[in-house]
Amino acid sequence: MDDNFCVVQHRLSQARQAPSPNCNARPAGEAVSLLVIHNISLPPGQFGSGHIELFFQNRLPIDADPFYQEIKDMTVSSHLLIERDGAVVQFVDFDRRAWHAGASLFDGRDNCNDFSIGIELEGTDTQPYTDLQYEALAKVTAALQQAYPALTAERITGHSDIAPGRKTDPGPAFDWPRYRGLLE
C-alpha cells in the first residue's frame, strides 16, 4: 500500500472501497469539522472475521454469533475502518453523513454526524491497538486534515467524549498521547 495517503473527491485513495447504504446527505453548507475515533469488534472481542464490513453493509450473518441477534436491526456505518493489520476500508464518502455518532454533542453542537468524520479501529476498550493501526490512523488523519482544514488537533475526539455515559470507545486501551505525538 502507498504510504502517501490522500483524499481525492471525498475518498481516501488508498482505502479499499466497500460502500454502505447507511448514510445520507450532510445538511446543506455543512463543512467537515470534527474527527471521531471509535472502536468495534465483531463478534465482540474477536478480530479478523470480516463481519464489521458486513454489519456496515446490512449483510451481517445473524446466525454466526448469538450477539448478532441483538444488533441485527441496527443500521450504522462509519466513514473508515482501520483493521488490526493497518488496512483501511472506506464505507462512506467524506462529504456524506455516516451514521456513527448517534446522540452526541461537541462544543455545544449536537448531531455530530452532521459535521464529523468517523473512524472505527478494529479493537476493544481494553485490548491494546496495534502499531500498524496507530501508523495508519496518523497517516489518515494527516490526509484528512490536509483535505478538511477545520479538522484541527482540538477537533479530534473519542466517541466517549461526544456521548458520555452512553459510549466508552475508543476506551482506556487507546493511547491518545501516542496518537497525538504521531500527528506532530
Burial class (CB within 10 angstroms; exposed 0-12, middle 13-18, buried 19+) of 141: buried
Q: Contacts for 45-50 with beta carbons within 8 Å, 24 or more apart? A: 45/124, 45/127, 47/83, 47/84, 47/122, 47/123, 48/83, 48/84, 48/122
Q: How many Cα atoms within 13 Å fall on the side-chain side of residue 43?
A: 10
In a domain, 64, yes or no: yes
pTM to 2 decimal places: 0.97
Q: Is position 35 within any domain?
A: yes
Check which CATH number belongs to the domain holding 73 and give it. 3.40.80.10
> Total domain count for the chain?
1
- C-alpha to C-alpha distance for 87 and 50, rounded to whole angstroms: 12
C-beta neighbour count of 61 within 10 angstroms:
12
pLDDT (tens, 9 = 90+) of the chain, 184 residues, equals: 446 899 999 999 999 999 999 999 999 999 999 999 999 999 999 999 999 999 999 999 999 999 999 999 999 999 999 999 999 999 999 999 999 999 999 999 999 999 999 999 999 999 999 999 999 999 999 999 999 999 999 999 999 999 999 999 999 999 999 999 999 8
Query: Which domain does 77 fall in, by range?
Result: 7-183
Is residue 1 one of the residues assigned to a domain?
A: no
14 lies in a domain? yes
Is residue 71 domain-resident? yes
- Amino acid letter at 17? Q
Asked if 120 is an active-site residue, the reply is yes
CB 82 within 8 A of CB 135: no
- Which of 83, 120, 135, 184 is catalytic? The answer is 120
